[in-house]
Amino acid sequence: MFRFIFGRLAVLIPTFIGVSIIAFSFIRLLPGDPVMLMSGERVMSPERHTELMHQLGLDRPMYVQYFDYLTGLLQGDFGSSIVTKRPVLEDFVNLFPATLELSLCAIIVAVALGIPAGVLAAVKRGTWFDQSIMGVALIGYSMPIFWWGLLLIIFFSGYLGWTPVSGRISLMYFFPQVTGFMLIDSLISGQAGAFKSALTYLILPTTVLATIPLAVIARQTRSAMLEVLSEDYVRTARAKGMPPFRVIGIHALRNALIPVITTIGLQVGVLLAGAILTETIFSWPGIGKWMVDSVFKRDYAVVQGGLMLIAAVIMLVNLVVDVLYGLVNPRIRH
Amino acid sequence: MAAVETPKNPPTGLAEFWFYFSRNKGAVIGLVVFVVILFLAVFAGVVAPHDPAIQDRAVLLLPPAFSEGGQASYLLGTDAVGRDILSRLIYGARFSLFIGVIVVTLSVISGVLVGLIAGYFRGRVDTVIMRVMDIILAFPSLLLALVLVAVLGPGLVNAMIAISLVNLPHFVRLTRAAVMTERAKDYVIASKVAGAGTLRLMFLTILPNCLAPLIVQATLAFSAAILDAAALGFLGMGAQPPTPEWGTMLAEAREFIQRAWWVVTFPGLAILITVLAINLMGDGLRDALDPKLKRS
């Protein structure tokens, strides 16, 4: 097992270096140079320009600059914002819990609804129930989620007035960040109504972000389940008179879940990509909106650092999924 | 395209393909819808009731014909500067289908080529190629596309290049896996013994037998490209206004979300219907082309 984990880690190193090269070269591929980007509209004398280039070490050879950048990364220095001057890592740490909370809620909803829906569709294969579940799943899978979010806002926030349009919690409530998770923090604060407020702010973004993973998980569960249901051991279990619920819930489902777990792991990238759109629509203060805003503000130092941090998160999650998968399915380890 | 040449005895590859494809009702519906959209896109100049760019100050934010206050000549209403939404959607179909075709062509050609090289030669070449693909996959696709467009400059062409690049790893991986399975088979070895050269083995012997999963993936990539391009347009990084691209139309409509539901609803509906039709076809293609799923 340790060999397996170690092997996976070894593969991550070249990927990490590659990702850092992309993040490093990104800012240098932009038209103009970082100093000109920083100065923005202001006019700068050539002397001042050269001086700043020297100060920032931008006049040294590329490989020296890259090596410095990599050393900085390993010491936790992801650069500082051109606009706010705050360290990128600090902003990331502050904003990441919001994205994490939203993503976790979305994946919980997707798993809690997707797996039962997929199992039921497989068991009732070919019936109207199966067809309608799979029809809805395909619509979900084809959904432009940025439009879906707008529709939900029009209906639930505009027409019915049930949910707020943007943000994480009503401005009426103020309490210190403990975990960064609004749902938990609002409970800790003990303020009446705070939790409910946080929940109403969370419902629509969660629905939007969960849509595609939910559809993918339902489809994957159904096809994995169909495959397993035609296996001999399921027939044997049925033949010996085991109640259908046990056959499906215990014998079949456990084996069908193996590919589903992989699918769930693969949704991390989908969730983070979805977070970019979802957070933009609902003004959710997470890293997706942060990245989009930084691209528009031309705060390329934040984009560079953010790219690196987000890629690192995805690589780590993939590693954990791989290891978990190895634990569940011993065949993978060899 | 999908037909594998077989002897003249029935059923031919195409007939067999159609047999399995047409058994999936959803796929046939998807095909019909897709053909209609294709027709509208090609003949947009004839079909569209209005010029998509003409702004009529007399009909700003006019509701659709079927709701109160609508006019029959503006079936789906008008936008904030008095342009006919239906006409813009019809012209927009051109952009979406064009984006899909270009992105799929770019990523299939380059992805298949790279995957073929990786799977055929293995060794160091393979390792390097797969590591590079891992690097691309380490970023959320939309974020990478967004940043690439920021570097290249916002616009439709750059959006297409960016989306092709983030789509690439899927084709590389798929081709590589298929090539590796096929390469060890007897017919390939026989062909090699008979004196076939490397290029012949790669492109004529192995590649045609790897096409089935690639065609299915290409359909998925087609719909994903339309979604991604619309998302980039929505974020302001894709096609630029006043281009009647569906995502860009949605971005322009966002501020009217509370007073004019139709400006927001119809462009998104157009995206959904198109993507859904293509995905339905993709499911049918998978049923028809994937021998593992064929049930006699």
pLDDT tens-digit readout, B63-112 = 888 878 778 788 888 888 888 889 999 999 999 999 999 999 999 999 99
Contacts of B75 (CB under 8 A, 6+ apart): B49, B64, B65, B86
The residue type of B116 is: L
Spans of chain A, pLDDT less than 70: 31-34, 37-42, 330-334
Exposed (0-12), middle (13-18) or buried (19+): which is A176, by Cβ within 10 Å?
exposed
Q: Do B132 and A19 touch (CB under 8 A)?
A: no
> For tokens 């919001």, what's the residue?
A98
Q: ipTM value, please give it.
A: 0.86
CB-facing half-sphere around the CA of A225: CA atoms within 13 A:
24
Distance CA B22, CA A131 (A): 17
Q: Do B279 and A144 touch (CB under 8 A)?
A: no
The residue that leads in pLDDT, B143 or A324, is B143
Segment 213-272 of chain A within 8 Å of chain B by CB: 269-270, 272
Distance CA B224, CA A218 (A): 19
Task: Name the minimum distance, in Å, from the CA of A154 to any CA of chain B.
Answer: 6
Q: Which residues of B touch A282 (CB under 8 A)?
A: none
Task: Name the minimum distance, in Å, from the CA of B268 to any CA of chain A.
Answer: 6
pLDDT score of B261? 86
Least confident of A57-66, B136-145, B169-178, B256-265: A57-66
Q: What are phi and psi of B248, to 5 degrees?
A: -65, -40
Beta pairing partners, A87: A80
> For tokens 């462009």, what's the residue?
B267
User: In this predicted model, what pLDDT tens digit does every residue of B196-219 receive, in sequence order?
Assistant: 888 898 899 899 888 888 888 899
The mean pLDDT of B165-176, rounded to a whole number, is 92
The mean pLDDT of B225-236, rounded to a whole number, is 92
The length of chain A, given as a count of residues: 334
| Proportion of chain B in helix, strand, coil states, percent, rounded to 5 | 70, 0, 25
Rounded (10°) CA dihedral A268, A270, A272, A273: 160
Task: Name the minimum distance, in Å, from the CA of A144 to any CA of chain B.
Answer: 6
* CB contact B134 to A (< 8 Å): yes
pLDDT score of B270? 94
The length of chain B, given as a count of residues: 296
* CB contact A167 to B (< 8 Å): no
In the predicted model, is pLDDT for residue B126 greater than 80? yes
| pLDDT grade for B230, boundaries at 50, 70 and 90 | very high
Structural domains of chain B in order of their starting residue, each with its CATH number: 37-47+89-295 (1.10.3720.10)
Q: Which residues of B touch A295 (CB under 8 A)?
A: 146-147, 150, 237
Q: Among partner residues B235, B267, B279, which is closest to A280 by beta-carbon distance? A: B235
User: In this predicted model, what pLDDT tens digit does every residue of A275-293 receive, in sequence order?
Assistant: 899 999 999 999 999 999 9
Distance CA B30, CA A268 (A): 29
In the DSSP assignment, the letter for residue B169 is H
CA angle A286, A292, A294 (to 5 degrees): 95
pLDDT score of A332? 62
- Whether residue A195 contacts residue A186, with contact meaning beta carbons closer than 8 Å, is answered with yes
* CB contact B130 to A (< 8 Å): no
CA angle A266, A272, A274 (to 5 degrees): 100
The mean pLDDT of B241-266, rounded to a whole number, is 88
Look up the pTM and report it.
0.88
pLDDT score of B5? 60
The mean pLDDT of B227-250, rounded to a whole number, is 90
- Whether residue B36 contacts residue B48, with contact meaning beta carbons closer than 8 Å, is answered with no
> For tokens 């014998």, what's the residue?
A251
Q: Do B132 and A18 touch (CB under 8 A)?
A: yes
| Distance from chain centroid for Cα B64 | 30
Rounded (10°) CA dihedral B19, B20, B26, B28: -30
* CB contact B154 to A (< 8 Å): no
| pLDDT grade for B295, boundaries at 50, 70 and 90 | very low
Distance CA A23, CA B228 (A): 22
Q: How much is the mean pLDDT over chain B?
A: 87
Distance CA B94, CA B108 (A): 21
pLDDT score of A10? 83
- Minimum CA–CA partner of B149 in chain A: A295
- Whether residue B98 contacts residue B156, with contact meaning beta carbons closer than 8 Å, is answered with no
